[in-house]
Structure 1
Amino acid sequence: MWDYTDKVLELFYNPQHQGVIEDKGEPGIKVAVGDVGSIACGDALRLHLKVEENTEKIIDARFQTFGCTSAIASSEALVELIKGKTLDEALKVTNKEIANYLGGLPEAKMHCSVMGQEALEAAIYNYRGIPLDTHEDDDEGVLVCTCFGISDAKIKRVIIENNLTTAEEVTNYVKAGGGCGSCLASIDDIIASVQKEKASATPVSNSLNQTNGKSAVKPLTPVQKIALIQKVLDEEVRPVLIADGGDVELFDVEGDRVKVILQGACGSCSSSTATLKIAIESRLRDRVSKDLVVEAV
């Protein structure tokens, strides 16, 4: 018996947002759908969004879920979190927020919160007319887990976003390694690679001055901040964007405002806002400063 929180059981037994949103051709309203998972693999989620076009605000959302208690509760939690938000605001919702909203999930069920996050991204990208193969991790990178069709790009992403350190944790979040187990060594290699990248990108601000026996954080100088931002862009952000046919160039840094130039597919894509916030800004906030704001020029 899984140790579910009261919130998980409440949303599972009494979901308020199950169902379909039909496109009735209402003026100024657009309906988008995002699909993730596979019934063959045990979990599948279809998310419906009803969006006010002039504001891009989500005015309603519904879900159809094939899965366990955690999958249904995570889907319900996702809808409650995103209703009333704009699409850009919704894109900032992480699987951690879904799990926290539920009061936590059993480790072996964390993949349900990840599935919700991915369904949301799929629906928003579909709303903006972006082909799935430009953002779906499963279709990019090297296939690592053949049992569940999980690529190295998707595994790396979930490791970074959730600070995972073991192959068992990766299996809990994306199921990779939960089949025949032949990919577990490859997952360990990816974890080691991510940890090495984190170690090389440790902010200079973590260096400590010893004053009267106490540790004090030494702030970054403007030059150090720019150098660290450039390092993170070159080593952690650009490889991901280049794999998608895009690129980014640092243009200027003014205080906590980081100005960048999106190039290639990123520059011409209507999802550039998502690229700025998810692929670039969140990474720089993790590695350099939580106060950074990234803008495209």
Structure 2
Amino acid sequence: MKKISILFFGFFLAKFSVLLDHYNNPRNVGSMKKEDPNVGIGLVGAPACGDVMRLSIRVDSEGRISEAKFKTFGCGSAIASSSYMTELVKGMTLDDALKVRNTEIAKELCLPPVKLHCSMLAEDAIKSAIRDYQSKSKIRLATLENSPEVLNTQ
């Protein structure tokens, strides 16, 4: 029985190592000034559990996300999802970042079904941050224009 417990524990640690790493050592914690014209801020929350996520992105002159920071008040899965999202989108174009889906985050972090809303918060946060940046810069992105939930600045 002890051998089975050790094997299970090893499997558990291996499977959830990315989640635990991003929770124990979150990357890119912090925020940026919303007044900066090159910065977009996304603030989202999940009323059911009380998690709140603030994602800041800085966009360079080529339209790529050069920096991403987050502040999250919530469970370990929400913190890990935020941290992973900041690493994932750095260097992406805005259109590519808009294509990131919560299922990709959930799969990488091995989130259980009861924690899928945490990865959805991360997806919503990047969309919100890009929408904020777009409203400041008056740029129009093809992906945003085709999305019904996004403000169009035509």
- TM-score, normalised with respect to structure 1: 0.41
**Which residue matches 2:43?**
35
Deviation at 1:18, TM superposition (A): 0.9
Matches within 5 A, 1:170-209: none
CA–CA separation in structure 2 for the residues paired with 1:96 and 1:89: 15
**Which residue matches 2:58?**
50
Deviation at 1:39, TM superposition (A): 6.9
Deviation at 1:57, TM superposition (A): 0.5
Computed over aligned residues only, the root mean square deviation of the Cα atoms, in angstroms, reads 2.5
Check if 1:20 corresponds to 2:26: no
**Cα distance, 1:65–1:39 mapped onto 2, change above 3 Å:** farther
**Which residue matches 2:107?**
100
**Which residue matches 1:78?**
85
CA–CA separation in structure 2 for the residues paired with 1:39 and 1:62: 22
CA–CA separation in structure 2 for the residues paired with 1:271 and 1:23: 21
CA–CA separation in structure 1 for the residues paired with 2:33 and 2:105: 25
Q: Is the 8 A contact 2:102 2:120 kept in 1?
A: yes
Count of aligned residue pairs for this structure pair: 133
**Which residue matches 2:6?**
none
Relative contact order (alpha carbons < 8 A, sep ≥ 6): 1 or 2 greater? Answer: 2
Check if 1:62 corresponds to 2:69: yes
CA–CA separation in structure 2 for the residues paired with 1:48 and 1:126: 10
Q: Is the 8 A contact 2:43 2:128 kept in 1?
A: yes
CA–CA separation in structure 2 for the residues paired with 1:105 and 1:30: 32
CA–CA separation in structure 2 for the residues paired with 1:97 and 1:41: 22
Deviation at 1:71, TM superposition (A): 0.2
CA–CA separation in structure 1 for the residues paired with 2:64 and 2:100: 15
SS of the counterpart of 1:59? Answer: strand
- TM-score, normalised with respect to structure 2: 0.77
More deviation in 37-46 or 60-69? 37-46
Specify which structure has the higher proportion of strand.
1
CA–CA separation in structure 2 for the residues paired with 1:110 and 1:272: 27
